[in-house]
Amino acid sequence: MDSLAGRARSALARLNLEGGDRLDVEAKTFSEYSSQALGPSLSALANLPGGGLVLLGVDERKEDSLVGLSPEVAADYARRASDQARKGFTPPVSVRAECVEVLGKTLVAIEVEEAPLSKKPCVWNKSGKAYVRVFDGDEAMSREDEQQFIRRRERPRDDIAPVPGTTIHDLDPDALASFIASVRETTPRLRNTSDIDILRLLNVLTRDGETTVAGLYALGLYPQQFLSHLFLSAAVTDQGLLTEGARSRDRQDLTGSIPDILDEALDWVARVLGATEVVTHDGRGVREYPLPLEAVREVVANALVHRDLSPATAGVPVDLRFTERGLVLTSPGGLWGISLDRLGRGRSAVNEYLYTICRHVSGRHGRVIEALGTGIRATRDALESAGLTPPVFIDDGLRFTVLFPNHALHSDDDLEWLASVFAPLELSPRQREALLLMRRGGPIANSDYRQRFGVDSATARRELMGLVNHGLAVRSGTRRGTRYSLVAQDMNPS
């Protein structure tokens, strides 16, 4: 099987299963060729890490999305798309456009290569704009977005920029003492070095005595006095957990140094998730959370340390939301020096000096950076040990997002009902959660299940049908109108 044809078939299958929500795939019907419609997509996919795929002759709005083109039209579209990519963009977009056969119909598959980092952002000459992917659409970049790409043509050095008007007196004395002690303990070469020289050598202070961005952010008394955007914004926006008319709850802006923000973020997550008191086999009482706090800690620490620190992201905090989809953490700036498929198997610090400082900085929950390059692996391991869905990582070049599976908050009554009614059955955590969703909110669709738990459509269908087969839920409707609901509120299966 030709590799591009195989990729097109795979992408089409995923579009049909997942309802079209693909960051790296754009589907277009194209009853007639439109450079106006194709231009933003080619620019956006060239700016997307890893590039992407455009399918012509596909209507993702339909249940049977494969529309197809005549072989003659498809060949013409492939030629014109290649010509447009070569001549219509700065830098030119590198594509491979071919006609492929799928289920007896012809479509055009256009493989778009990621533009070289040194030449991003890729601009569509006709509009004079660069574009970025947003879910399965294309959006014109703002000036700040473009500046992010331009600044990342070279390794960022924003973490060692001086903060005008600051001195060592803007740093926390206790944090400084702990930091210096850690450096001396772990770095033999610096054991006999003076305190002030250690701070200069590790880029906490400049030669002129001002703090660096990294030094102030990691060790400052209150960094936001000078760097107001370096905070974490947290809120619950899951509509199922809000009172009528409310847009959010538990909204907080978490400020202070990195270890302060990290500690407060974990406190916020623990409070929002809620804990269950569990007695271990040796009689000890422990608190268990629906989502392992160790996993949350690692991704929040990564977001704080690896966020974009350039002026282009001034005013943009790290964002933590408890949504219908799950716990979502977004930080400004994409990955640097590593791709999504290598996460957890390599180490690349966009803010290398801040990263080094944070290896010697601790809060209530331990060191900010526990060990070199182990954060993502620790996150995956913690979730796997708890039997939970792995996190989803998304890099669109401008921001990096981590989505945890959603284990929503439920009342004690809900939890007691679940334990008493379904204790004899072997159900997955997602299936139990789905039953609670049905009890609280009524029928759910395959798409609701996918969004809630971050799984694909096939997994959602299989697990929902498992509830039907157990006699716990009933299925109604057909195709995209299919819904699943409880058999009865008071059911008690044997």
Phi, psi of 26 (to 5 degrees): -120, 125
Mean pLDDT calculated for residue range 112-125: 96
Domain regions of the chain by residue span: 4-141, 232-346+369-406, 412-486
List the single range of 86-95, 222-231, 235-244 with lowest mean pLDDT: 235-244
pLDDT value at position 340? 74
Binned at pLDDT 50, 70 and 90, residue 284 comes out as: low
Binned at pLDDT 50, 70 and 90, residue 407 comes out as: very low
Count CA within 13 A, CB hemisphere, residue 123.
13
**What is 232-346+369-406's CATH topology?**
Heat Shock Protein 90 (3.30.565)
Binned at pLDDT 50, 70 and 90, residue 181 comes out as: very high
Give the CATH number of domain 412-486.
1.10.10.10
Residue 5 has pLDDT above 90, yes or no: no
Give the CATH number of domain 4-141.
3.30.950.30
Give pLDDT tens digits for 439-494. Answer: 877 888 888 887 666 677 888 889 999 999 988 899 988 877 789 988 874 444 43
pTM here is 0.73
